[in-house]
Amino acid sequence: MDLAPRHRRPLPLPGPWPACAGALLDRGAAWLHTETTGEALLGLPGGPVLASRWSGAAWTTTRDGLPRPGSPWEALEGVQREHPGPWVGAATFELACDEAALPRQALPPGALGQHWRGLQRALHVQVGQAELWSWEEAPPDPTWEALLSPEADRAHAPLTLRPRWTEAQHRAAVEEIRERILEGGFYVANLCVPFDCTFKGDPVELACRAFARARPPFGALLDLGELHLLSLSMERLLARRGDRIWSQPIKGSIPLTGDGERDRLAAEALAADPKERAEHTMILDLVRNDLGRVARTGSVRVSRPMAVEPYPTVQHLVSTVEAEARPGLGLADLLRSVLPGGSVTGAPKHAVCGHLARTEAAPRGFYCGALGWIAPSGDLDLALPIRTAQIAGDTLTYWTGGGITRRSDPAREWAELFLKTRALAD
């Protein structure tokens, strides 16, 4: 994470990571966890907060309680350079739909649409070595370091996730999409289902256990005030470094068994599967088009097509689409072009989003929105919050889904939902 802190110094950890960070996480520290590099960023409590809420008629955005002008993306772009550090947070699927003028489900007044915190200080950990980072004028006050201390294992609360609709309902929804595709209404649609459970446990304990099990490339635990967001995502929605912008859509999955030869053969079958390749190709075309709207002409390319990547419980087809940003491209236009992500909507976006708004069991919330960091320079790294739990009070909701094409098998699609709960559930 190249976030250009103003001050940085080594900080010996008093115990194993992340067990020594529990007290800070209890106080609202923002945790971004990158398993692929052994890297973590723990944004310490404090700093300005930008939030958008649905009034029942429009989005209203505030910074520390004071109104901000413009749409939510415009307000986020407006504060981007007002704070010396990065903004860490998340935005919902429904807010992204509104910014892109796409249909979405109705929301109750007061629904949270985005929540970003401007970091003042952070603990950066890579392969067990820690540094204290600060974006403030003066070096950071070390008094909070007393909160870093080893602690005993926290109580484990087992999860029993239950889908909000039945297998028969899901099969009927899949068949309806297949019929719409046959009629020419759209080409592929990503149908998602919420799973619910009562949760009386500790979000920090759940995050530590889930990160160890799922080893997510884009893990996060964020305290958004009224809810905790626990993401085990493996999909990069959008990144920017200078003029380079890129996305890494995922489409196509198969279980990972742990048997090397069996998994190798399964990976070969996944890469050759006509249904999975067709679904992935359609999403690739959509992502190329999304980036093309904000890129220099002729710069969009697929640099790594349909690579099979293994994760602890599943293998996925992953591609990398990159481009050169057009001169003067701002944050709001970039987000409006790419979000919501093509791999969690379908093609064409407007027709699919209209159908999903009438079909799915509930608004998705932060699931399938965006999550990550945005720097004052304009650089950013946003994950697509799949494999993501939203914890509000004693209710935990965890969505899963999959892309539906004309070749989809309703029974297989139902089974895939449960496969994707294995990253979190016992």
151 is catalytic: no
Q: How many of the other CB atoms lie within 10 Å of CB of 14?
A: 11
Catalytic site residue from 74, 251, 276, 416: 251
Q: CB within 8 A of 377, min separation 6: which ones?
A: 4
Catalytic site residue from 35, 77, 99, 235: 235
The span from the CA of 259 to the CA of 310, in Å, is 12
The span from the CA of 64 to the CA of 30, in Å, is 17
The span from the CA of 361 to the CA of 227, in Å, is 20
Return the residue matching tokens 């005030």. Answer: 225
Nearest to 196 by CA among 164, 166, 174, 170: 164
Is the bond leading into 310 cis (omega within 30 degrees of zero)? no
- Which two structure tokens, joined as six digits, stand for 381? 């790294």
251 is catalytic: yes
Q: Calculate the dihedral angle through the C-alpha atoms of 249, 246, 375, 144, rounding to the nearest 10 degrees.
A: 40
Nearest to 144 by CA among 54, 232, 24: 24
Active site positions, annotated: 235, 251
